[in-house]
């Protein structure tokens, strides 16, 4: 199985490569549209800022390449947010794969970014096979995806927010499965079986 990880100006790609390696899966970190299209699975991870990430993707034609992927794709954290229509983070226009907006956590009372372990609930979809309700996963984010029909999991941090999306061949999680212990490992395994 050939797994490609999207390389763009965002952090956290090395920990995804390492997590796949622990599962015995080799991956290639690439910013080549051709390599992404040729892969069996594509992972779109990231920690960073939406508008600069979108500029990088557009400059290399990766925005069109990612939209056109037909194999299973997994967005992680910023990767999930960039799959949406737009983000309040510097008013970024995103990839528009799912017609949802990314919003900033409201100021006042909450420490932003939301960082640390939190539970996931209302689990639906293929990524969560064998995962129990209220399982703990690891988050680091200051923005969240609004609710919509594509949501397949939720969490609460001052307000309820979408934790995972599923739309056609695109899957995405706001948390970091590569940093979420056995639960995250199971989610990655479920993705690799798609």
The catalytic residues are: 77, 176, 178
DSSP tag of 105: P
Cα end-to-end span (Å), the chain? 12
Specify which residues 30 forms β-bridges with: 6
Helical H segments across 26-160, by residue range: 33-38, 50-59, 62-67, 78-82
Helix (H) or strand (E) holding 153: strand 151-156
* 3-state secondary structure at position 42: strand
The DSSP bridge pattern shows strands 135-141 and 114-120 to be antiparallel
**In the chain, what are the helix, strand and coil shares in percent, each to the nearest 5?**
30, 30, 40
- Give the separation between CA 141 and CA 89, rounded to whole angstroms: 11
């Amino acid at each position: 199985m050939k797994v490609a990880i999207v390389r763009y100006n965002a952090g956290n790609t090395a920990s995804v490569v390492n997590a796949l390696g622990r599962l015995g899966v080799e991956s290639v970190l690439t910013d080549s549209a051709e390599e992404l299209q040729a892969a069996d699975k594509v992972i779109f991870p990231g920690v960073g800022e939406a508008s600069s990430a979108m500029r990088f993707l557009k400059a290399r034609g990766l925005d069109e390449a990612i939209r056109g992927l037909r194999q299973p794709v997994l967005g992680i954290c910023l990767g999930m947010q960039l799959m949406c229509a737009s983000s309040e983070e510097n008013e970024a226009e995103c990839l528009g794969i799912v017609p949802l907006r990314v919003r900033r956590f409201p100021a006042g009372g909450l420490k932003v970014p939301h960082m640390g372990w939190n539970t996931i609930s209302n689990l639906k979809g293929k990524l969560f096979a064998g995962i129990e309700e209220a399982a703990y996963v690891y988050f680091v984010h200051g923005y969240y995806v609004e609710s919509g029909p594509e949501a397949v999991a939720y969490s609460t941090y001052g307000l309820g927010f979408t934790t995972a999306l599923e739309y056609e061949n695109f899957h995405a999680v706001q948390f970091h499965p590569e940093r979420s212990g056995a639960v995250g490992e199971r989610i990655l395994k479920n993705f690799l079986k798609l």
